A and B are shown apart, each in its own frame.
Chain A
Amino acid sequence: MISLYIGSTSGYSGKSLVCLGLGNRFAQDGYRLSYMKPIGKPTAQVGETITDEDAIFIAKALSLSDPLETICPIVVTQDMIVQAYQNKTEGLEGRLINAHQKLSQHRDIMLIGGGSDLYEGAFLGLSGLYIVKRLLDAKVILIDRFTNEVCVDCILGIKESLGDRLCGVILNRVVPERIDYVQRRIIPFLSTRGIDTFGIIPYDQLLNAVTVKELSEALGAEIICCHDQVDELVENYVIGAMTVDRALKYFRQKKNKAVITGGDRPEIQLAALETSTKCIILTGNLYPSELILVQAEEHHVPVMVAKDDTQATVEKVERIFGRIRVRDQRKVARALELIDQCIDFPTLYRKIGLA
C-alpha cells in the first residue's frame, strides 16, 4: 500500500480540494482508497466525539466509512495543548501508527491530509516532516499557492528535508496572467532541481466564493428579501461609500459581488443593482426603503441588514473571504473538474509508484 501525504507550504492552499480530486480519480481508476488526517483541529462534534470538520467532509465525500476516531486519531484540543506544554502527552505516536495500520488493510493507496505546513504539530512531537519520514513512510505531494520566489524557496527547502519522498508539486490558485510565466520560468527551473510539477490549477472564482447565507450567518445579518436566492455564490465584495457615478465605475469592475453600503444610501443600492451583484449588505442596522426592495426583488438580489457599522462589517467580510473551504456541492463538482483537467495523472502515478 502506498501512503501519500498531501502537504502544503501555507494554510488555505487547497489541500482538501486536492485530496478530493485525487481520491476521486484513484477510486475511478479502480484503486482501493483510504484517507486519514493524522492531526486534526477540534472543529466539529459528532455525538460524543470531538473531531476535525475537514476530515469528516473529505471522508464523506470520498464515501469512506471508517470510524472518525481512526480517520483522525489525534485532535488537538485545548486539554492536549496544555498537556503538551507540560510534556505530559503520551502515546500519540502509537495512536497514529495504529490508526494508519487499521486504515491500510486491504487498501492500495492512502491519502494523508497534512497541516498548514510541514512543521505543524512539532510541539506535539508530530510535525508533518516527522510523520512522513519516521512514522508512516509516506510519499509527499506539495500544494503551493504560488505567488513568487518566496514560494520557490519553500518548495526547495522542503525538497532538502524530504529528498526523494517529495514526488512533486501542484501549484494552486495561479491567476491567469501568471500562468504563462510559471510555465516558462518556474516549472523548468523546479525540474532542474528534480521536482516535478504535476499541474497548475488556475485561480477559480467559484471555488473562492461564499454563499449569501454563509455571509449573513457570519455577519449576524438579517436577510430581508429574495430568500430563495440565499444559496447564490458571492465571489468578492466592494464597499459603496462614494458618489453614485464613482460607485457605478467601481461596481462594474467586480462581478458576482456583495456590495456593502449604508442603509441610507438608496442611490448606491440602485447602482449595485445595475451591476453584477449577488447581495447587498446594509450596515448600521438601517433598513432600506420599500421601493429599493421592489427593485432588489426584480433583480433577484437578496438584501441583508447588518447591525455593525460599515467598518466592522467589512472586517468580518474580509475574514470570511480569506478562509474559504470547499463544502458546497457546486464547489466540489468544480474542484473535481479542475483536478481532472489540470493534473498530469500519468506522471503523478508513475512518481508515486501506482502505475
Chain B
Amino acid sequence: MLEKFFSPRSVAIVGASREQGKVGHEIVKNLLLGGFEGQIFPINPKATTILGKKVYAKITDIPAEEVDLAIIVIPAQQVKDALIQCAQKGIKSAIVISAGFKESGKDGAQRERELLQTAQEYGIRILGPNCLGLINTSANLNASFSTEMPPKGNIAFFSQSGALGTAILDWAVGQKIGFSKFISLGNKADLAESSIMEALCQDHDSRVILGYLEGIEKGQEFLHKARQVSKVKPIIITKSGSTSAGTRAASSHTGSLTGSDVAFEAAFKQTGVIRARTIEELFNYALAFAYQPLPQGPNLAIITNAGGPGILAADAAEKNNLNLLFLSKETTDKLAALLPPAASVYNPVDILGDAKADRYQKTLEVVLEDPKVHGVLVILTPQAMTEIPQTAEVIGEMSMSTEKPILASFMGEYAVREGIERLAKYKIPNYSYPEHAIESFHTMWKYRRWQEQPPLTYVSLDADRERVRQIIEQVRKEGHLEIGDLKAREILAAYRFEVPFSRVAEDSSMAVALAEEIGYPVVMKIVSPDVLHKSDVGGVKVGLKTPEEVHAAFHEIMAKVRKFMPQALIQGVSIQKMYDGKREVILGMARDPQFGPLIMFGLGGIYVEVLKDVSFRIAPICREEAQAMITEIKSYPMLKGVRGQKPVDMNAIVDALLRLSQLAVDFPEILEADINPLIMKESGQGAVAVDARFTISPN
C-alpha cells in the first residue's frame, strides 16, 4: 500500500526549476542530495537541464515506460491539468506540494474539489495539496522541500502541520534521532491519517507511528483503522486544539470543526492510540518505543546515585499507578552484600553519590536477574566520583543481553553530554528528568496491556425500533426537535429501560385517586406545554406519602406555576411512582461532528455539574467499555457503597449504557440524549430511568 509513494523507482517533478531558492529547484536538489537511486525526471517546458538532469517539456515526453511518482510544484490553477497528464503517462501516485487550495479561500476550495474529482476519475492517489512532501530514509528518498534528511531509524512521523514537521526534522537531525518516514499531510484532500497509518503498519522499517493532528477527516474510519494498526505497532498522537482558545485557533486555521476534545480522548482510549499532550511528550514516548522492548509487567526498578531524584522518581511512579514494592528478598540480600552500608537496597535502589561504573554494573546485573523486575530506570547525577561515559557504556552493554527495557535519566546538560551520546549509540532513551522516564515506561506498559487484550465483541440488543421511529416521526410532524417527558420515556421503554409508571391528573381529587392507585410515595410534576424547566418554577414535588400531602402539593404546584408563569396553559400534574434516589447517575449522548455518537456517564447532581466527573466513549460500545466508563470516574467508590452502603446494581448501569449506545447507533437522527436521573437500586434490582430528553435532527 502506498508503495509507490514511499519507494518509487522513478519520480517526475512537475514544475522543476533552474532557479535556486524556488521550491521546484529545492525538490530536485533534495532528491539528489538524499542519494535517491531511482530515475529523476524534471518537467519544465522552458529548461533543458536542471542540476545536471535532462529536463522534459511534458510528462508525456518522459521516455521511460513507467513513472511511479509525480511531485507537483506548479501554481494551483495548473495542477488539475498536470494530473490529467500524469494519468496519460499511467502515474497513479502524486504528491501535490502546491498551495492555493482549500486553505486559501473560496476559489481554492473549489480547485481542491475539482482536483480530488479528477484524481478519483483517473484512479490517482494524492498526498496534499499544500504539503511539504515526504521522506523515506530507507529508500534515500527526500521528496520534500526540507533540506535536512534525518538519520535512518524506526520512527515514522506524519504531521498535519508542514512547518511543525520541518522544525521537528531539524531538531531530530541535531539530536541524531532516526526516522523511517516523514509524511506531511497538508490539506488531506485524499490521503489522510487513516490511510497513512494503515500503510505505516505494513512498513517493516517503522516500529512506532507518530502523528501531529489538528483534526481528523473521517472519525469512524479513523476508529476502525487505528484499532487495527495499534494492535500491531504503537501509534502516538499529539492532537492540538484541546482548549476553547485552541479550538478557536484550529477552526480558523483549518476551516473545520475539529470535534470536542473529550471525543478525541475517548477515540484514543478505544483504539489504543497513545495520546501525547505535548510535542515533547510525543518524542519522550517515541524514543522509549523505538529503542526498547515492551515490558512484560508494570514493575519498574529504579537505580540512582542520588536521593533527591530517587524520591522524584518514586513520586512519579505512584502518580502513574506503578508499584515500587516488589523486589524479592533474594535481590535485596544480594544488593545489601554488594553495596555500602549507607546505600538503600529497596526500590528506588540508592547506590550513593560515590558510585562508579562498576557499582552501577553490579547493581544493574542483580536487579535485572530478579524475575519480578520488568524494567529498569537508571538515574545518574554528575558528581565528583561519577564515571559518566563509562557508566553509559556499562548500561549499554547490559541492555544488549536483556529482554527487559532499560531507560536512563542522566540529569544535567554539559557534564553528561558524552554519556548521553553513548547511551544513544546503544539505543537507550535518556530523559533529562526521571518523571518523563517513568511516564514513558508507564505508557509502554499500558500499550502492552492493550496489545494483549482479547478482541472485544459488540452485540446488537433487541428493541422496539418501530415504536421509536413512530415517535420521532410524530414529533417531527409537530414541528419540534426536542422530545421530553412522556414521549422520551416511551423511547426508553422501547429500548427496554425500566421507566416509572405515570399518569396525568387534571384536578386535585384525580391526583389523590391516582396516587392511591400507584402507591406512595409519589412524585408530582406540572404538565404544561409552556413549562420546560419544571423545577425552576416550583412545578415538582417529591416524596409525597399521604393523600393529604398529594392534595396540598397539587395546590402548591398550581400556585407557584401561576405566580411564575401566568401565561402558561396548565393541563394538570403527572403522578409518578417515587424511587429512592439516594444514588443517581446520568447517561448522555451527543453526536460529535467527527466521531459520531459520544456516550457520557457520570454520577448525578454536583458530580457531573460541578466536578465534571464524567467518562466518555464513542458508540457502539461493548460490555468491557461500558464497565470501564463506570470504574473510570472518580466517584466510582460511591457506587460501590461507602459507610456501610450496599453497592448499586452495576450490571444495570452497564446495560443502560449499552442500550443507549444501541439507540444512538440505530437512530442517527437522534443528535442528543440525556437520561437524568437514572435512579440506582441495590445490586440485582436494576435501575429506573426517571426522566429523559432527546434532540432530533429536522430531517
Contacts and interface: CB of A to CB of B under 8 A. Distances in A.
A289 B248 contact: no
Contact of B697 (A150, A245, A276, A290): A276
A294 interface: yes
A294 B109 contact: yes
Nearest to A148: B569
A267 B568 CA distance: 36
Interface in A238-294: 243-245, 248-249, 252-256, 265-267, 269-271, 273-274, 276, 289-294
A318 B296 CA distance: 65
Interface string B460-477: 000000000000000000
Contacts of B569: 147-148, 178, 181
A79 interface: no
Interface stretch (B98-106, B197-205, B511-519): B98-106
B674 to A, nearest CB: 10
A255 B481 contact: yes
B697 A147 contact: no
B593 A205 contact: no
Interface residues of A, number: 39
Given A148-B567, A271-B257, A289 B252 contact: yes
A253 B248 contact: no
Contacts of B247: 244, 267
Interface residues of B, number: 37
B106 A290 contact: yes
A238 to B, nearest CB: 12
B691 interface: no
A80 to B, nearest CB: 35
B695 interface: yes
A297 B102 CA distance: 13
A82 interface: no
B105 A252 contact: no
Nearest to A146: B569
Contacts of B546: none
Contacts of B257: 244, 267, 270-271, 273-274
A94 interface: no
B671 A267 contact: no
A90 interface: no
B71 to A, nearest CB: 26
Contact of A252 (B104, B481, B568): B481
Contact of B106 (A205, A249, A293): A293
A73 B178 CA distance: 92
B697 A252 contact: yes
A252 B695 contact: yes
A267 B251 contact: yes
Interface centre among B251, B479, B571 (most CB of A within 10 A): B251
B566 to A, nearest CB: 8
Contacts of B480: 176
Given A203-B479, A255-B481, A294 B106 contact: yes
Interface in A277-317: 289-295, 297-298
Given A148-B569, A175-B529, A271-B257, A252 B671 contact: yes
Contact of A254 (B108, B260, B481): B481
A297 B105 CA distance: 11
Nearest to B246: A267
A177 interface: yes
Contacts of B529: 175, 177-178
A269 to B, nearest CB: 8
Contact of B255 (A147, A150, A291): A291
A58 B376 CA distance: 89
A174 to B, nearest CB: 10
Given A253-B482, A266-B248, A248 B590 contact: yes
Given A148-B567, A289-B255, A295-B255, A253 B695 contact: yes
Nearest to B103: A291
A200 B104 CA distance: 54
B175 interface: no
B118 to A, nearest CB: 19
Interface string A209-222: 00000000000000
A32 B569 CA distance: 41
B479 A290 contact: no
A273 B257 CA distance: 9
A276 B699 CA distance: 9
Interface in A168-188: 175-178, 181
Nearest to A243: B244
Interface of A: 147-148, 150, 175-178, 181, 203-205, 243-245, 248-249, 252-256, 265-267, 269-271, 273-274, 276, 289-295, 297-298
Given A148-B568, A205-B479, A292-B255, 20 more contacts: A147-B567, A147-B569, A175-B529, A177-B478, A178-B529, A181-B571, A252-B481, A255-B698, A266-B248, A270-B256, A273-B257, A276-B698, A290-B104, A290-B105, A290-B106, A291-B253, A291-B254, A294-B102, A294-B108, A294-B109
24 contacts: A148-B568, A177-B529, A178-B529, A181-B571, A205-B479, A244-B251, A244-B260, A248-B593, A252-B672, A253-B481, A253-B695, A254-B481, A255-B481, A267-B248, A269-B251, A270-B255, A274-B593, A289-B255, A290-B105, A290-B106, A293-B105, A293-B106, A294-B109, A297-B106
